[in-house]
Amino acid sequence: MLLEFGIGLGIAFLAFLLINGINVLPIIIMIGFAYMLFNILDRGNLMKNPARIISNTQDITFDKIGGQEVAKNELLEALDFIKNFDEAKKMGIRPLRGIMLVGAPGTGKTLMAKAATSYIDSIFVSASGSEFIEMYAGVGAQRVRQLFEVARNMAKKASKKHGVVFIDEIEVIAGTRGRNASHLEYDQTLNQLLVEMDGISSHDDINLLVIAATNRPDIIDPALMRPGRFDRIVKVDLPDKDGRLEILKLHTKDKPLDIDVDLEQIAKETFGFSGAHLENLCNEAAIFAMREQNKKISQKNFIEAIDKVIMGEKLNRKPTEDERKRIAIHESGHALVSEHFNPNSVSTITITSRGQALGYIRQTPEDDIYLYTKQYLESQIAVALAGAVAEEKLLGDSSTGASNDFEQAVDLAKKIIFSGMSELSVVDKDSLPSEKLHKVISNILLQQKSIVENIIEEKQDVLKLIVDYLMENEKIDGNNFRKLLLKSQVA
């Protein structure tokens, strides 16, 4: 409208100049140039529609989501409310417009939004928060408007009563902190989102539901959480052991598994994995099996795949023989001390370099641990320090390979201090002077170091045995490791 008016006015102005005998060519060229520039810079962005329309969400149902019982139930409860919206309306209850899914990356938030879509028999459009951010003012807001328009039109076309608008990474447009100079743009985008949400019930024929996902609930603008906006918050956690087992079962359902495959054991060894990690793990295990030209995936393939998912791809650069020896000593040190404090805790030692780590040991957690005792934390400090201590003992010095361990030990010491379990008793994190803090950290570390030195001194012989085995075989599993320990005790 405004554009037509402007063009009309421009033409009239040019005609006026022409009538008065003024050369209009340079002006026309300039206008043409400006128009082209505008086109290149802005129009493209303005017209780009952020909505990704996905039609095959019917395939994704809640039984395709492993674990997450609590989140699923909460979500279902909210969705039932939407399904029975007509009854709710009669009671004068306002419609549920927004659900916020909160949880770590890869925990299945997108999956849940899609399952919700099929549950309420709806269409699904999605966009990510970062797609709304542009340099030009108003573009983000424009895109929000488009997204809702697309959803409404699609639902109408498909003759559906409901439409789901999924916005991933909502914190990008709805975060309160971390906004930079162009925060005005973010605010306009957020405002538009609020306007659209507030206006949902005025389009009575189609009932839109906004599902947003974030892993940073701490920075979400409280305005979004007001009643009538995102008034349901569903937490999606990392899966626990049973959840991991369910997810593994789902992702191996169509894969040929060897009889030795023990998914329960794999679930146990994948503490901290998200659903996305587990999906990746099953895929990698199948790739390992194929490389070996096996028809079925074996337990060994899964164990290899765990290491790969944890550590990333194998490093290209091969360490020298001396480096390998040092790594073997370092990792054996960790393993010996881990086994000393927590028998059966070592599940693999390897000196094959992957990703960032040169070698590593993997400890099997007894169960998922949520509360730590002081004793446990101290033993973990000892395990962290043991790599460097073993190097010092057998090679006379330690290397830069231990710097991560050191950081980890310091973090653990801080955990002890700030949970009131150190010599300082209960402390206030903010008022503790840093010299004091460092003094106590170093006391804790030195104490553990001397304990570790004694253990390594005492177990030198078996340490060397393990190092030799690793130099020969590159890795050793927990059971063979323990056999070596026993053998040396008998001898």
- Interface residues with ligand ATP (CB under 6 A) are 65-68, 105-111, 168, 213, 215, 247, 250, 275-276, 279
65 versus 197: smaller Cβ distance to ligand ATP? 65
* Shortest Cβ 314–Zn ion spacing (Å): 18
Could you give the C-alpha distances from 413 to 395, 419, 434, in angstroms and in order? 27, 10, 14
Using CB distances below 5 to 8 A depending on partner kind, what does residue 111 bind out of Zn ion, ligand ATP, none? ligand ATP
Backbone phi, psi, residue 293, to 5°: 55, 35
Residue number with the smallest Cβ distance to ligand ATP: 275
In the region spanning residues 398 to 437, those forming contacts with Zn ion, defined by CB under 5 A, are 405
304 versus 391: smaller Cβ distance to Zn ion? 391
Place of tokens 């206006």: 199
Q: Determine the interface stretch with Zn ion among 75-83, 117-125, 385-393, 407-415 (rule: CB under 5 A).
A: 385-393
CB 125 within 8 A of CB 150: yes
Helix (H) or strand (E) segment spanning residue 349: strand 346-350
Is residue 387 a contact residue for Zn ion (CB under 5 A)? yes
Expressed in percent and rounded to 5, the helix, strand and coil fractions of the chain are: 60, 10, 30
- Helix/strand number for the chain, H first, E second: 19, 9
Residue type (1 letter), 244: R
Using CB distances below 5 to 8 A depending on partner kind, what does residue 105 bind out of ligand ATP, Zn ion, none? ligand ATP
* Shortest Cβ 79–ligand ATP spacing (Å): 17
Dist. CA 133–CA 318, nearest whole Å: 43
Using CB distances below 5 to 8 A depending on partner kind, what does residue 387 bind out of ligand ATP, Zn ion, none? Zn ion
Catalytic residue status for 378: no
110 versus 118: smaller Cβ distance to ligand ATP? 110
* Shortest Cβ 361–Zn ion spacing (Å): 8
Dist. CA 201–CA 96, nearest whole Å: 10
Dist. CA 401–CA 379, nearest whole Å: 20
171 versus 405: smaller Cβ distance to ligand ATP? 171
Dist. CA 17–CA 132, nearest whole Å: 42
297 versus 467: smaller Cβ distance to ligand ATP? 297
Choice among 246, 304, 331, 391 that is catalytic: 331
Dist. CA 347–CA 362, nearest whole Å: 6
Dist. CA 75–CA 101, nearest whole Å: 9
* Shortest Cβ 329–Zn ion spacing (Å): 11
Residue number with the smallest Cβ distance to Zn ion: 387
Q: How long, in residues, is the chain?
A: 491
* Shortest Cβ 129–ligand ATP spacing (Å): 11
Is residue 185 a contact residue for Zn ion (CB under 5 A)? no
Binding site for Zn ion (CB under 5 A): 387, 405
* Catalytic annotation, residues: 331
